Structure 1
Amino acid sequence: MIKGSIFMFISSFMALFPVANPVGAGFLVNGFLSGLDQKTRMSIIRRIVTDYLLVGLGSLAVGHFVLALFDLSLPIIQLGGGLLICRTALQWLGDSDASAGRVSKRNADPISLRAVESRIFYPITFPISIGPGSVSVILTMMASASIRGDWVRSLLNYAIIAVVIVLMCSILYLFLTQGQKIIRKIGDNGSIVINKMVAFFTFCVGIQIVVTGIAKIFHLTAL
């Protein structure tokens, strides 16, 4: 059982990390928070982390029920989620202000603070920090975690997936809290370049998820 649990943890981490991309998401989200003072920034970060856990652990808890309720399949979730990721990435690539996620560099004023607060859940938490791609991966991991006739092992696997989700959130939190130091060292131009690169790779991840969904829907092997 110990070997199985270790394998479940490693496979879940390797499956979720590239899609959730907490490091890249940390750079992107830091752009939104660049104009806030430290106290306000930490308050916003805590709300982002809370929403992240609600989406991630909520998907784990009720994901299959929601799919059954709306009669949705995993390939459809992958297709829709991939398209939404591509749309978000294109917005970041096409608009220099949006892609840098900038707010004024002066201390946060009521207007800029309201603008950031209105974006905490969408698009900062969802789909930038944790998107449909991550949700579809969580649902896929749930399918492999369920062991018929062994509810103890199934619950243990579900708990391991929950630990992986919390770990992704912790990595994101680390990069959000330390992001200003990193951005200060690489400068504004370096931050923009990194954000553009992350946006491009995010677009590629979205394309990959779309292709995977299409391949499963039409039972294609060439893709």
Structure 2
Amino acid sequence: MQHFLSTFLYVIAALIPMVNPLSGSIFFLSLTSDLGPRERAWLAARVAIYSFILIEISVYAGVFILNFFGISIDVLRVAGGLVLASAGWKAISSFGGGEKKSESRGSDEPLEKEHFEQRAFFPLTLPLMVGPGAMSVCTAIGTTLPTTFANTLGLNLASAALCIGIWVCFRYAGQISKRLGAAGADAIVKVFSFILICIGIQVLWAGFSGLWTELARTSLAFLAK
């Protein structure tokens, strides 16, 4: 029981700063401003499920997948940073007219899932919630944590609890918009869309710095010969 609790708390503490469902719900609201409540509810459930699957894959097979394709963590960061910055730019540029498409949608309109279901995995799950940082942490956990029943149970339940938190935060993100009002929600979306661009650039820079350092180390080693 002690090993289970320690593993559970360890995984939660390690992944919460990387995933951060509460702040992610604001970004979710920014990237789904053109959707109605039912579409957001559907996406919230899908993002939670996809996040759990991606976390589990990263824990148990992350190293093998990256090695198989010859992808480094820094390359993953560069790609993830580009996607986040692009998503933030699209979100902030969609508010040029000051009106949100979701306001013109009726609650009784039929759902057209082909217009929004593709967002569930990309970019809402990857790289927004389970990005390069979270994947690298999951990979490190999977390679360092001893393989025991208690550790495995604690790891899986911690991943499930985290993804339930994602669902709760995303599911009720629309309530934030209602409480803030149209003007307040518009301002919040713009601010967090800009922050999302900054986060993407920061992730991109971290990956670029790592690649540049590796290039310099390789060049020095080659010249030393």
What's the TM-score once normalised by structure 1's chain length? 0.73
AA of the residue aligned to 1:84: V
State the partner residue of 1:131: 131
State how many pairs are aligned. 212
State the partner residue of 1:122: 122
State the partner residue of 2:161: 167
Do the aligned partners of residues 50 and 184 (structure 1) sit closer, same or farther apart at CA in structure 2, a change above 3 Å counting?
Answer: same
Shift of residue 66, structure 1, vs aligned partner: 0.4
State the partner residue of 2:69: 70
Do the aligned partners of residues 117 and 74 (structure 1) sit closer, same or farther apart at CA in structure 2, a change above 3 Å counting?
Answer: closer
CA contact (8 A) 1:29 1:129 kept: no
Do the aligned partners of residues 28 and 100 (structure 1) sit closer, same or farther apart at CA in structure 2, a change above 3 Å counting?
Answer: farther
CA contact (8 A) 1:100 1:191 kept: no
CA contact (8 A) 1:37 1:108 kept: no
| Partner SS for 1:122 | coil
State the partner residue of 2:201: 207
CA contact (8 A) 1:83 1:210 kept: yes
Do the aligned partners of residues 183 and 19 (structure 1) sit closer, same or farther apart at CA in structure 2, a change above 3 Å counting?
Answer: same
State the partner residue of 1:57: 56
CA contact (8 A) 2:4 2:150 kept: no
Greater Rg over alpha carbons, structure: 2
AA of the residue aligned to 2:177: I
Shift of residue 21, structure 1, vs aligned partner: 2.7
CA RMSD of aligned residues (A): 3.6
Alignment of 1:34-53 (within 5 A): 35-36=35-36, 38=38, 42-53=41-52
AA of the residue aligned to 1:123: P
AA of the residue aligned to 2:116: V
Distance 1:110 1:36 in 2: 11
- Where does structure 1 lack aligned partners over 5 or more consecutive residues? none
Distance 2:99 2:60 in 1: 34
| Partner SS for 1:121 | coil
- Where does structure 2 lack aligned partners over 5 or more consecutive residues? 217-225
Shift of residue 77, structure 1, vs aligned partner: 1.9
AA of the residue aligned to 2:210: K
State the partner residue of 2:82: 83
State the partner residue of 1:27: 26
State the partner residue of 1:182: 176
Measured against aligned partners, the alpha-carbon deviations of 1:112-159 in whole angstroms (never above 9, x if no partner) come to: 54312343322333333433443233224434x24xxx543xx75565
